[in-house]
Amino acid sequence: MDSFVIKAIAAELAARIHQARVEQVLEIRKWVYLLSLRSRGRKEQLLLSCDPALPGVHLLEKPLETASPSSFCRALRIHLTRGILREVHLPYLERILILRIERRKTSGLLKRFELIVEIMAARSNIILTDADTGRILDCARHVGSDRNRFRELLPGRPYVPPPPPRKLDPRSLTAEQIPETFPSDRAAQRWLVEQVAGFSPLLAKESVHRAAGAHLSGVIGAILDTYRQEHFEPALYRDPASGALTLSALPLFHLAQRERIATVGMNEAAARHRGATEGGQRLPDRKKPLLQAVEKALKKTAARAEHLAQDLAATGELEAVRREAEWLKGNIHQLKQGMHEARLTDPEAQAAHPISVKLDPTLSPGESVQRAFQRYRKLQRMAVIVRERLRGAAEETDYLRQVLDAVERADAPEVLDEIREELAAGRYLKKTSRRRGVKHSEPAPPLSFRSCEGHTILVGRNNRNNDRLVTRLSRGNDVWLHAHRIPGAHVIIRNPQRQAISESVLREGALLAAYHSKGRRDARVPVDYTLRKHVRKGPGFRPGMVTFTHGKTVTVTPDEASLPKRCDS
């Protein structure tokens, strides 16, 4: 967040949460806290973060799961709960937001506090001070003299603001102080960042772009007027290649070719930016336990299948046991109780060849025949059971490979949340308890693409997504596609007009099915397709598993550059 974004957020906060009551202080995770406020009969959630990876302040639209409170969170609860937010203050062009809160104790004494959020990348911090004495009550990150000799951030020490940057104040900047020309646009951007206070790299790049070779003084003045008059235009720009979002309080003309996402205000834009950025940063960490759980389950299933294969091999003598029982039955007149072995002839053989059969001497001839047929029927039942269990192990292996592919392809936290719930329902993971008041996240929407002829193409992002595509989001005449015998996404080409789908559109759908599958790096991937009405989700089927008929196959080469344009935001 640069100083302009923080200023725009502060302006909205001053309007929305002025005189709000602090009802609760929560901790989301380390260095990320939440003030639960009540303002004008409405609940607001104010997020405060000094996480070096993503510091900032903004209101939240949806509640988040919380963690156990740290000592700093407990200190905030003690001093701020039931307090009234009197002022949101922001020093000029600084990245420091100050919340001034008053709380009346039971004794009647009025205490004033300042909650200071310093948004400074690796040096970000949240400090709670006594506004009357100026001393620090506690802070999220303690900084001793061994780390900073000039500015200790420890309980009991006087709060000292960060030293002002040794840069030019843009309010008093004259045209003579700005070089007439620069060797390149990059040099002009570097000069703005290094020499002028309040200009971030993004803002410097935009300023140079707006100047278009002219003198920078006019552009700097216009941008400062926007800051002073609070004429902000919150904006999010999506990078088409990576999907990353750029957050700005001003329209960025140098990103005019990118998709601009409309937002209601600066707080909403900041919340969406945090969700996308934080999700991307934390996805590898969140994927790790899911991948481990699936891989562990795959190993257990493979070991079980190996044991079942051995059991099935043991039933290989089934035919021999049947013949032995038939031999005993056909030669029962030659058997006598007390015999240890009988030499019999095969009644089905052309020539009489004596066969030796072991007997239990304690059994009568009839009991020996009965025992032989019992053994045959037992092996027969065992073979049926083992084959059924082997089929189940194979289906479970296919399912787990499908889940593994979905985890690897997951591009958003909500997609992983659904996979986690699915694994917990299948008892591959322990169910996580949810705190009261925290709602289940909304189902992740499928990816949406636009074909060359205007057809909407939907791509599932996990197994539950695939199920919704097949059972709820598609109709009988839509086209269903899936990589042939490869874990991957279900793809639906919408066809509300019930017209014939052209080969070019079909190929685009096949490219998406191949690209969003385990075979995305293969040179050639076969893709099955059929009408949706020929796809069946049977009772007892695992998530994402279907059967289909009337299928055809097309072979494509996955290529990201050839994929149709994504149209969901």
- What's the one-letter identity of residue 110? L
Which residue, 511, 506, 504, is CA-closest to 488?
511
CA–CA distance, 277 with 186 (Å, rounded to integer): 26
Q: Mean pLDDT throughout 287-300?
A: 93
pLDDT at residue 463, as a whole number: 94
Contacts of 478 (CB under 8 A, 6+ apart): 492, 493, 494, 495, 531, 532
Strands, E assignment, 496-545: 525-531, 535-536
Angle, CA of 293, 466 and 262, to the nearest 5°: 100
Which residues are bridge partners to 37 per DSSP? 22, 44
Confidence of residue 9 (pLDDT cuts 50, 70, 90): very high
What confidence tens digit (pLDDT) does each residue in 455-497 have? 999 999 999 999 999 999 999 999 999 999 999 999 999 999 8
Which residues are bridge partners to 126 per DSSP? 117
Q: What separation, in Å, do the N-terminal and C-terminal C-alpha atoms of the chain show?
A: 22
Q: How many CB atoms lie within 10 A of CB 539?
A: 4
**The tokens of 39 are what?**
């303002």
**The tokens of 524 are what?**
């050639």
Cβ burial, residue 119 (10 Å; 0-12/13-18/19+): buried
Structural domains of the chain ordered from first start: 3-139 (2.30.310.10), 170-262 (no CATH), 312-396 (no CATH), 447-566 (no CATH)
What confidence tens digit (pLDDT) does each residue in 16-39 have? 998 999 999 999 888 999 999 998
- What's the one-letter identity of residue 1? M
Q: Give the chain's largest Cα–Cα span.
A: 124
**The tokens of 481 are what?**
């596609």
With 0.85 as the threshold, say if the pTM is over it. Answer: no
Cβ burial, residue 112 (10 Å; 0-12/13-18/19+): middle
pLDDT at residue 569, as a whole number: 43
Q: 């003579």: which residue's tokens?
A: 176
Q: 């015999």: which residue's tokens?
A: 339
Q: 């040096």: which residue's tokens?
A: 123
pLDDT at residue 351, as a whole number: 47
Q: Mean pLDDT throughout 228-242?
A: 85
Helix axes 185-195, 201-211, angle to 10 degrees: 130
For the chain, how many residues are written? Answer: 569
CA–CA distance, 521 with 123 (Å, rounded to integer): 42
What confidence tens digit (pLDDT) does each residue in 424-464 have? 999 898 876 554 444 455 678 899 999 999 999 999 999 99
Helix axes 463-471, 413-425, angle to 10 degrees: 90
CA–CA distance, 60 with 272 (Å, rounded to integer): 9
What confidence tens digit (pLDDT) does each residue in 516-529 have? 999 999 999 999 99
**The tokens of 437 are what?**
């008041």
What confidence tens digit (pLDDT) does each residue in 127-162 have? 999 999 999 999 999 998 888 888 899 999 999 998
